[in-house]
Amino acid sequence: MDDKGRSHRYEFMRPGEIEREKKHAPIAYIPWGSLEWHGLHNAIGLDALKAHAIALDAANETGGVVLPPIFAGYGTMKPYKGFKHTIEVSSETIKALLRELLEQLKDEGFKVLVLIMGHYGKQHVDALTSVCDEFQSMHREIAMLAFPEYQVAIGDGIRGDHAGAYETSLMMHYYPETVDLTLLPHERPLSMDEDGIGGENPREHASAERGRKIAQLIVRRIVERVQLALERVKGAQ
């Protein structure tokens, strides 16, 4: 692990380091994903891993801390299409976990909380967003940001998918050792029903370079939002 990445990873920081970082930038990033089937070619932890990597890139620009990735997905490929190697967590559980986490981060003195959702089935996003809205209504002194990672860059032409060229490219950029495109079937078109893959064909359209460009756009847009939120809460003090 490089020193730049370690300097924002909450689990590796000593108390004094956290206090210094919080004084400089009271921002806490929460990368949230799932343990879920993402095709034969991708790691099961893809959603949370990409959200964590994106959060670290953003924190390198804005300052703040990045919590460990949370692997707790609701509305996953298991109930949707019956894919194994997937851990489905209930709506009640993820909502309770997020609610307690947000309250604890507020108690620790963070002023900008950034929930980056790498798993974005509608049920999952709605459940977590409802908690964030509830939290924000009770704590106006906190800036609460919550979004699927791709959503901030829709205006730049970015679209999320499920294990297709978009997500696979991000993994080829951040974690190339986890991707093996040769494991995908070649004798037929890929599909959600048979392969758990939606979006552009990763065999033909995924690359590390594409992932790098996607990541840069997403990180840029996140940084813009976070910096505005930080200015807002500082101005309100």
- How would you write the pLDDT of the chain (237 residues) with one tens digit per residue? 344 457 899 999 999 999 999 999 999 999 999 999 999 999 999 999 999 999 999 999 999 999 999 999 999 999 999 999 999 999 999 999 999 999 999 999 999 999 999 999 999 999 999 999 999 999 999 999 999 999 999 999 999 999 999 999 999 999 999 999 999 999 999 999 999 999 999 999 999 999 999 999 999 999 999 999 999 998 776
Q: Specify the amino acid at residue 189.
A: P
Name 145's bridge partners.
114
Alpha-carbon distances of 90 from 32, 77, 145, 187, rounded to whole Å: 15, 13, 23, 37
pLDDT at site 229? 97
Supply the pTM of this predicted model: 0.96
* Tokens representing residue 13 in the block: 């920081």
Helix axes 91-107, 122-138, angle to 10 degrees: 30
Contacts (Cβ under 8 Å, ≥6 apart) of 188: 194
Instruction: Give domain limits for the chain.
Output: 3-149+219-236
For the domain 3-149+219-236, what is the CATH code? 3.40.50.10310
Count of H helices and E strands in the chain?
A: 10, 5
d(CA 135, CA 222): 20
- Torsions phi, psi for 163 (to 5 deg): 65, 10
pLDDT of residue 3: 46
Please state, in angstroms and rounded to a whole number, the distance separating the CA atoms of residues 8 and 12: 8
Sign of CA pseudo-dihedral 107, 108, 109, 113: negative
Instruction: Tell me what percent of the chain is helix, strand and coil, each rounded to the nearest 5.
Output: 55, 15, 30
DSSP β-ladder status, 65-66 and 143-148: unpaired
